[in-house]
A and B are shown apart, each in its own frame.
Chain A
């Protein structure tokens, strides 16, 4: 009888080991693996389209970290917290603050784009004679600061933050890159680059001298 049970146990162990080995070597053929999250098919809709004339002349790439910690005392009513302090009387024991602390750290890497809006260019902003061209263009501005979902990495998540709060942290990361770009002189860089690009292009049109002014 014991021999039979022993053989059965050994067979089950061997089968489990074989399965683990197979699943590790051929993960795609592992029929027991969890199904990955999949989107249902929905259309991409064009809500609006418009003509622009933005000369993107500088880009600032940055990697930023947003880190937040909160202490949620109200979570004492939560069952998980109750279990954690099981057997402790609320009135007599000082709870350690960090036992209810939630930390969230997100890393975002994205780009801040700046340039000059040439759509604002009016005929009176361009003066020319045979060899000299003077053009007045608007000063550079930030067009977009982009950190898309694929450019975020959640580094620490203790589970105390709602999805909506996480979106707010992501927004903070975007703002952080924009502020950092402005402090790094992206506007000046964009103006300088635009000046060179327009200068080269207008010279290729046959003008001998180009004056570019920012308004």
Chain B
């Protein structure tokens, strides 16, 4: 009876250890096609400042970080379609999809800790808390992208690029048809 009880305890301990186990360097991956024409690249920066005061503790914790992000926007190349083509007049009309954000890239080496100040009565920031602060910064940048007018610029540059490219291919008149609102991607 005693032995069975000990065995059960041992199994429990071993199974709880198993939760932490993982194969090191494990990689799950997949390769996919893409068709985005990136037409603008922005470098954005933001200062992240947090002052952590809690009701239950004396003293505070402060952290100041600077964060830089690269952002690329453009259009879906596969959705650029020819609407009208007139070879005799060397003219072409195209339908262009609306611009969108392709990627936001915050490289770890572009995040700098300017100041970490913790009162003697408080515990240091954990690395997980610092990562949470970086996530707040990332979300804040994402939420302000619309205000920066990036998509408008991406749209303009996409038209400029396609126009100059088609002119290299012999077209003299290149026009773009307005994309109806209901055709726009969200």
Give chain A's interface residues, CB within 8 Å of chain B. Answer: 32, 34-35, 37-40, 42-65, 67, 104-105, 111, 113, 115, 118, 121, 123, 126, 128, 133, 143-144, 146-150, 152, 154-157, 159, 161, 163-164, 166-168, 170-171, 174, 176, 180-181, 184-186, 189, 193, 197, 200-202, 204-206
Q: Are B108 and A171 in contact (CB under 8 A)?
A: yes
Instruction: Find out whether the CB atom of B29 lies under 8 angstroms from the CB atom of A62.
Output: yes
Bound complex: CA A57 to CA B2 (Å): 65
With both chains docked as a complex, state the minimum distance between the C-beta of B102 and any C-beta of chain A, in angstroms: 6
**Is B41 a contact partner of A148 (Cβ separation < 8 A)?**
no
Given contacts A146-B106, A205-B92, 10 further A-B contacts (CB under 8 A): A32-B56, A47-B44, A51-B160, A53-B37, A56-B38, A61-B29, A63-B29, A155-B22, A197-B77, A202-B169
- Chain B interface size band reads 35 or more
CA distance A181 to B32 in the complex (A): 11
CB within 8 A of A57: which of B35, B125, B157? B35
Of the stretches B6-14, B135-143, B176-184, the one at the interface is B135-143
Q: Which residues of B contact A48 (CB under 8 A)?
A: 42-43
Considering only CB atoms, which chain A residue lies closest to B104 in the complex? A148
The docked-state distance in angstroms from the alpha carbon of A123 to that of B165 is 9
Residues of B within 8 A of A65 (CB): 22-27
Query: A35 with B44: in contact, given A61-B29, A205-B92 (CB under 8 Å)?
Result: no
**Residue interface mask B29-65, A partner, CB < 8 A = 1:** 1111111111111111111111111111000000000
Residues of B within 8 A of A (CB): 20, 22-56, 68, 70, 72, 74, 77-78, 80-82, 85, 87, 92, 102-109, 111, 113, 116, 125-141, 144, 148, 153, 157, 160-161, 165-166, 168-171
Indicate if the CB atoms of A61 and B45 lie closer than 8 Å.
no
A34-B53 Cα distance, complex, nearest whole Å: 9
Contact A34 B56 (CB under 8 A): yes
In the A-B complex, the 3 residue pairs with the smallest Cβ-Cβ separation, listed nearest first, are A149-B134, A170-B108, A62-B29
| Known pairs A46-B148, A155-B22; A55 contacts B37 (CB<8 A) | yes
- Residues of the B chain whose Cβ atoms lie less than 8 Å from the Cβ of A171: 107-109
A80 to B85, CA, bound (A): 77
B74 to chain A, nearest CB (A): 8
A184 to B33, CA, bound (A): 13
